[in-house]
Chain A
Amino acid sequence: MDELKKTILDYVRREYLEEGDERELKTDTPLITGGIVDSFSMVSLKRFLERKYAVKIPDADATPEAFNTVDSIVELVERFKAVEV
């Protein structure tokens, strides 16, 4: 697993998964539809990504679909990292 995926996966596990939640979190686990991250919490996750990777994700692109899995989040970050460059 590449570093970007691992960092985001670890962050989601640490910040959003309840302590007693035994679900295995993988990069394709649904976060929003799976009830792990809700639309309010998405704001803090977006803030983390923007800080960590020095990108600006426009609100219009920060959709529940785009945040639904670690895979889709990585895609989003890479898209905007490319724009920054």
Chain B
Amino acid sequence: MYAMEILEEKRLCNIGSYEERLREFDWAIAEKEMGWGRGDPLNIGWHLTDRICRLGLAKKPALLWEGSDGRERTYTFGDLRLLSNAVAAALSRLGLRPSERVCLFLDRVPELYIAFIGILKMGGIVQPLFSAFGEESLLTRLLDAGTAAVLTQKKHLPKLRRIRAKLPALRTVVVVDAEGFALRDGEVGLDLDSEPRPERFPIFPATAETPSILHYTSGTTGQPKGAQHVHRSLVSQYLTAKWVLDLRSDDVYWCNADPGWVTGTSYGIIGPWSNGITQAVLDSGFGADRWYGFIERRRISVWYSAPTAIRLLMREGTETAKRHDLSSLRHLASVGEPLNPEAVHWSREAFGLPFHDTYWQTETGCIVISNYPGMPVKPGSMGKPFPGITAAVLDPTTLEPHEERGRVGVIGLRPGWPSMIRGYWNNPDGYAKKFTNGWYLTGDRATVDADGYFWFVGRDDDVINTGGHLVGPFEVESALLEHPAVAESAVVAKPDPVNMEVVKAFVALKPGFTPGPDLELEIMNFVRKRLSPIAMPQEIAFVASLPRNRSGKIVRRVLRALEWGEPVGDLSTLMED
């Protein structure tokens, strides 16, 4: 970006001077703006609706929604307040109690956004799950959380019915579009259009440390872990949405992420609405013309997207973009995986604006490293730590910070910012392992340059980042083993030009099964239906056996290195066939 443009942007943007913010930073800035004092009750649900209405914004559009079939709905902040009261009252009537886990297993329909707030208002813990999850993924997460209720749509009900007998804690399934549909025992309908909308609901007096949201995230070993957020996360999400995404009162904001993932809640619900910002939601799959048409029609001004989506748009060329009037756009940001320099250059060409890369994780709850408005974007870099976040590159062996520019290490963060998770559900040991020497270990590797910009290098473990979603190899390997033909398997990341990485499986078959393309497709579909399309191996290599160390453990690193064309390292500890 040119110097004059940067100066102008710095003058106008919310963060102003990054350097000054660094010097003078205190999370109390956000708390004061939010009108919250430490020790006061703090309920995210109240802050997103009742507080915004008290500020005189009850009639302002909060949600501009479009479905894949072209249906449109608009909800004001006043509507959100009353409708979330209605959900909170209905769930209380059904016997749901504060601190119980209530799962949202919904497409991006308005009920998802409204129920998210309603659950928080009655003191429940929201457990959002991606609606494309298969029954195995669903079962694992509902069982671990001891989920008491699930809100869903009739199209997803068969999956739940098939696993319900294995879920003793699940008392109620609430179907939001049940009209004319035969429900069974333990299932109830909730039609928000006809539900009474109480003017007042006794909002649960949560405190800063009261659990709020449980997001499941994948690790290298074991099943996915429930990252436990608390209501105080709001402080970080409010301020980062304002300073990094630069949200202003007249913006129309669009976040592509599904609330089944943390971006879709931190910045697809909490960040914008706590700032009283209008957001648009498109419940539709990818389509370049569809997306550009949405931006044009809704006059989107701030767009938070992901590298995979940007690379898919790049494949369509700038001509497709130029067929639409996209002049409403003024700030672009990206999250999920590293944004390659070509994508930044391309976005300047297509939209006249660069995408600003942002970095964070489910565990951090908010953006922790970013390129900021008013600061030169270094294409390909993650940017600099958010004021109030202490980030360092740690020596991979000692896990102590090193100052050497350009040397690769693990990104460590000093705990203490408001939205850091407070634990993994039912897994205190897993949480404790994430900390060493007073640093939270992100598991991501990076370097820092002479200007203090961070540059992503890769994961420090076997977790696969595909299209911005983390997939744990263990979960996929477990699903593969349930297929009758599979004797053993190993799952690794394979490089991919669009998704950065995709899932690749190495499979040894049981005697009597013959490898071939038909079996490969059968196994791919088997995993897709049991887990999710994201976890489906995009390629399967049939092998006679898998590399193991002398204690018999499968050594994924060898397979991964071969996929990436990297040195396989020390092979002396491997068993010989």
Contact = CB atoms under 8 A, between A and B. Distances in A.
Contacts of B289: 65
A43 B499 CA distance: 12
Contact of A51 (B284, B288, B498, B518): B518
Contacts of B499: 40
Contacts of A7: none
Given A47-B520, A48-B521, A40 B534 contact: yes
A40 B533 contact: yes
Contact of A63 (B155, B159, B315): B315
B337 to A, nearest CB: 14
B469 to A, nearest CB: 9
B198 interface: no
A19 B521 contact: no
Interface residues of B, number: 37
Contacts, number: 87
Contact of B155 (A21, A38, A60): A21
Given A18-B155, A20-B158, A39-B467, A34 B524 contact: no
B536 A40 contact: yes
A55 B283 CA distance: 33
Contacts of B287: 30, 32-33, 64-65, 68
Interface in A35-63: 35-41, 43-44, 47-48, 51, 60, 63
A43 B132 CA distance: 16
Given A41-B533, A43-B536, A32 B525 contact: no
- Say what secondary structure dominates the interface of chain A: loop
B60 interface: no
Contact of B528 (A20, A39, A44, A64): A44
B288 A65 contact: yes
A32 B517 contact: no
Contact of A32 (B157, B159, B286, B521): B286
Contacts of A22: 154-155
A48 B479 CA distance: 21
B312 interface: yes
A40 B525 CA distance: 11
B316 interface: yes
Interface string B474-515: 000000000000000000000000110000000000000000
B521 A47 contact: yes
B68 interface: yes
Contacts of A75: none
Of A15, A20, A22, most B-chain CB atoms within 10 Å: A20
B283 A44 contact: no
Can you list the 9 inter-chain pairs with the closest CB atoms, starting with the nearest?
A40-B533, A19-B158, A33-B287, A21-B155, A41-B533, A20-B155, A20-B158, A32-B285, A34-B68
Interface of B: 68-69, 107, 132, 154-159, 283-290, 308, 312, 315-316, 466-467, 498-499, 517-518, 520-521, 524-525, 528, 533-534, 536, 538
